[in-house]
Structure 1
Amino acid sequence: MDRLTALRVFVCVVEQGSLSGAGERLEMSRAMVSRYLAELEQWMGARLLHRTTRRLSLTGPGEEALNRARAMLALGEEMEQLAVRSDEAPKGQLRITSSYSISDALLVRAANDYLARYPGTAIDILLLDRTVNLVEERIDLAVRITNDLDPNLVARRLGTCHSVVCASPAYLARHGTPQRLQDLALHNCLTYTYFGKSLWEFEGEDGPASVPVSGNLSANISNLLLQATLEGAGISLQPHYSVQAALASGALVPLLTQWQPKRLGVYGIYGTRKQMSPLLRSFLDFLIDRMAQDPLWQAGS
């Protein structure tokens, strides 16, 4: 029995929720999937899955085996990468997730430049503003903007995200320009589902401050709020990297500039440092190098 393949089959069955689903994913017959599972259980001397006509569920030994199987598969992938030595070009594929806005501002161009430098590599980008489970989605790297890191994951700081409160000239002509932080509570503030939905936080000369905000539009994708802000729908708190062109052209006006909206970290997040592939390390180094050369991503900007 090819035990590494058997472990891969076992993990895939759990992730897909069925033997037939795993077979489709692995391009393997259902009978072959069942055979690998049976041989794995025989080798381990324990039943790994409860099988019924409707669903599969892990047994106690199965839960323990799943974690170890994933670790062994990750180690196997790392062993395959040992051929990529420090003096050789990286090879392989990375699956990366990020928000729509940071993909537009950073990730797509960085990926294109990396792929041009290393023709033996490939990158698959999954755009989602929500946090995803890296294991279930088979993600190698998540580029996230957050100050709330998952202690079970490894995070490498890439840079700093600065934000700006802004509105269109048309909105300000109709509703007036807020002069004090507390004035935001009286305006139609367009809010982001995953950050600052009801409270915007700031730093000023006298220390931190916050203001409750609300409005008639909220969204889980910041780019949608940016478009609504450009069209005069209200005031929004936007990443500076998304609005720098609109601010420069006058399409948007920065507000309350004596206050600094709460800074957020930009992180590269991955599952484990021990099984970090040379390809992932190479791309992270490339991304950090690129961001270090751009003042937009620096803490003091």
Structure 2
Amino acid sequence: MDRLTAASVFVSVAEHGSLTQAAEQLDMSVAMVSRYLAAIEKWLGARLLHRTTRRVSLTDAGQSALHSCRQLLGLADDIAQQAGAASQVARGTLRITSALSFAEAQLAPALVDFQARHPEVAVNLSATDRSVDLAAERIDLAVRITNALEPTLIARPLAVCRSVLCAAPGYLAAHPPIQHPDDLQQHRCLSHAFASGARFNFQRAGERIEVPVSASFSTNETAIMRSAVLAGGGIGVLPTYYVGEDLRQGRLQRLLPDCELDTLGIHALFLSRQYQPLALRLLLDFLVERFGGALPFWDRLPG
């Protein structure tokens, strides 16, 4: 673990008398502050802080270490100023995690384009839908689609995830037309395996509508859902970041366009803004520019 950062964390905790206040000042998660404190105590081989439920205070060893850490940080600042700055060439390996469908459809192409600009940056992309412990698994960046953000992580909004109700033209040609949400109860519907019951929820003209359906097919993976809908298996809810091209090419048709489905936020999550590698800072800016705005490029749909 970076000893200079650990020294900075220790000084901040000592000055504030609180891990929470230090985390806020450093723009870092409380969990990460605790990790740095444990690391510097292990490095120095001494307990530096007394901790109670309300406050932390310095031990005798902590009092001695505080002066030395302040000197160390001052020396580091002098070196940085004399050198002008660290190298302005982004390099190193970025460890990134994302849901499989978003990684496949949007993130992987974006990362390839980013590497074209910064060829000395290597990427290790892990696609998984489980919630990854960034600190424990040494992840630099997680891209998550959720409205329930973890308070211990720093979040930067990237885009809005919108979904559409859609079906293949072949399926629609062989079944009765769908003009009202209640019509869905007469159709084959596909659902997400983790959804709470087989139902579709809409907003229509400011009114909340919940339609129970008979789900003949369920899956926990967006790619499988898309394949089943494309094959004529029925009606499904799919994110526009994944099926935007299918809609543009007519392989899928959007249903009930006046009924809006719930939206989710797409966020870049990381542990701290302090001492970020240049490659990570540049990647965050790149992803915001690529995906950001009121309307992501994948939502520019016909009709």
TM-score by length of 2: 0.67
Aligned to 1:255: 255
Aligned to 2:165: 165
Aligned to 2:89: 89
How many angstroms does 1:174 deviate by? 3.2
* Contact 2:88–2:278, Cα closer than 8 Å, also in 1: no
- In 1, Cα distance between the equivalents of 2:213 and 2:152? 32
Asked if residue 236 in structure 1 is aligned to residue 236 in structure 2, the reply is yes
* Contact 2:198–2:215, Cα closer than 8 Å, also in 1: no
* SS, match of residue 211 in structure 1: strand
1:53-64 equivalences under 5 Å are none
- In 2, Cα distance between the equivalents of 1:151 and 1:193? 27
- In 1, Cα distance between the equivalents of 2:44 and 2:117? 47
* Contact 2:187–2:234, Cα closer than 8 Å, also in 1: yes
How many angstroms does 1:286 deviate by? 0.7
Aligned to 1:99: 99
- In 1, Cα distance between the equivalents of 2:176 and 2:198? 21
* Contact 1:129–1:220, Cα closer than 8 Å, also in 2: no
- In 2, Cα distance between the equivalents of 1:122 and 1:190? 38
How many angstroms does 1:235 deviate by? 0.8
How many angstroms does 1:153 deviate by? 1.5
* SS, match of residue 97 in structure 1: strand
* SS, match of residue 110 in structure 1: helix
Q: Which amino acid aligns with 1:278?
A: L
- In 2, Cα distance between the equivalents of 1:200 and 1:291? 27
Aligned-residue Cα RMSD (Å) equals 3.5
1:49-198 equivalences under 5 Å are 85=85, 88-194=88-194, 198=198
1:300/1:241 Cα in 2 relative to 1: closer, same or farther (>3 Å)? closer
- In 2, Cα distance between the equivalents of 1:210 and 1:269? 32
Stretches of structure 1 that go unaligned for 5 or more consecutive residues are 8-39, 46-78
Aligned to 1:288: 288
How many angstroms does 1:300 deviate by? 9.7
The alignment of Structure 1 onto Structure 2 pairs a total of residues equal to: 235
1:45-73 residue CA offsets vs partner (Å, 9 max, x unmatched): 7xxxxxxxxxxxxxxxxxxxxxxxxxxxx
Stretches of structure 2 that go unaligned for 5 or more consecutive residues are 7-41, 48-75
* Contact 1:84–1:91, Cα closer than 8 Å, also in 2: no
1:273-284 equivalences under 5 Å are 273-274=273-274, 276-284=276-284
- In 1, Cα distance between the equivalents of 2:117 and 2:143? 21
- In 2, Cα distance between the equivalents of 1:119 and 1:85? 21
- In 2, Cα distance between the equivalents of 1:300 and 1:230? 21
1:187/1:92 Cα in 2 relative to 1: closer, same or farther (>3 Å)? same
Asked if residue 270 in structure 1 is aligned to residue 276 in structure 2, the reply is no
- In 2, Cα distance between the equivalents of 1:119 and 1:101? 25
* Contact 2:240–2:299, Cα closer than 8 Å, also in 1: no
